[in-house]
Amino acid sequence: MEEKQFSNIHISHQAEKMRQFCTFRIDRHLFGVDILDVKEIIDEIFITKIHHSQDEILGFINVRGHVHLVLDLRRLLNFEIKEIDEASRIILFTSKVGESFGILVDLIEQMIEVNEKQIEFHKQDENTIMGVDQKRFNMLELGACKLEQGLVIILEAKKFLEVIKNN
């Protein structure tokens, strides 16, 4: 925050806090994760299945000698299952988000930059009675932002593994 003083008047200029998000689609819905959490986006998808694992875990992917767990975001968010196609991508996250992992998405959109004031942050209410799927979604959702291209639901990348462990 920058403050200037002119005689007895204080003028405060608060810098607009901008946030950048990597956006993607699951079904027709637009989602985003903080760009600072994204390590890279993989377009060549060769997943090694893990037998007897939870449905939300697709398996492992080897990227330049490093093995990453891959989660199926469609299953995490309770969408209908869809086959991997040429538009499918895996978003890998940085180590600060959690163990080496990524999520499978239907389609990568664009990087967007929004003023933090445009984001309506989600407030979790522990007392609300809801189904398992709604609790999972509420745990993953950071907030939402209305843009020209539609509503962007912002997900908290750090919560993906937590949701799997609590399943």
State whether residue 77 is helix, strand or coil: coil
Give me the mean pLDDT over the 53-63 stretch. 93
pTM of the full structure:
0.82
CA angle 113, 118, 120 (to 5 degrees): 120
Q: Where are the domains of the chain?
A: 19-165
Q: What pLDDT score was predicted for residue 6?
A: 46
Q: In what order do the strands lie in the sheet with 141-147?
A: 107-115, 18-26, 29-34, 150-155, 141-147, 119-121
Token pair of 90 as six digits = 């895996």
Check pLDDT > 60 for residue 1. Answer: no
Give me the mean pLDDT over the 32-45 stretch. 95
Give me the mean pLDDT over the 123-130 stretch. 52
Give backbone dihedrals phi and psi of 78, rounded to 5 degrees, phi first. Answer: 65, 40
80-114 confidence digits (pLDDT tens)? 999 999 999 999 999 998 889 999 999 999 999 99
Nearest one of 99, 39, 105 to 77, comparing CA atoms: 105
Q: How far is CA 53 from CA 29, 58, 167, in A?
A: 27, 8, 12
Q: What pLDDT score was predicted for residue 91?
A: 97
Q: Which CATH superfamily is domain 19-165 in?
A: CheA-289, Domain 4 (2.40.50.180)
Give me the mean pLDDT over the 28-57 stretch. 93
Check pLDDT > 60 for residue 8. Answer: no
Check pLDDT > 60 for residue 40. Answer: yes
DSSP labels for 80-144? PP----TT-EEEEE-TTTSSSEEEEESEEEEEEEEEGGGEEE----TT----HHHHHHHHHEEEE
64-76 confidence digits (pLDDT tens)? 999 999 999 999 9
Of 15-19, 54-58, 94-98, minimum mean pLDDT range: 15-19
Q: Say if CB 159 and CB 140 are below 8 A apart.
A: yes
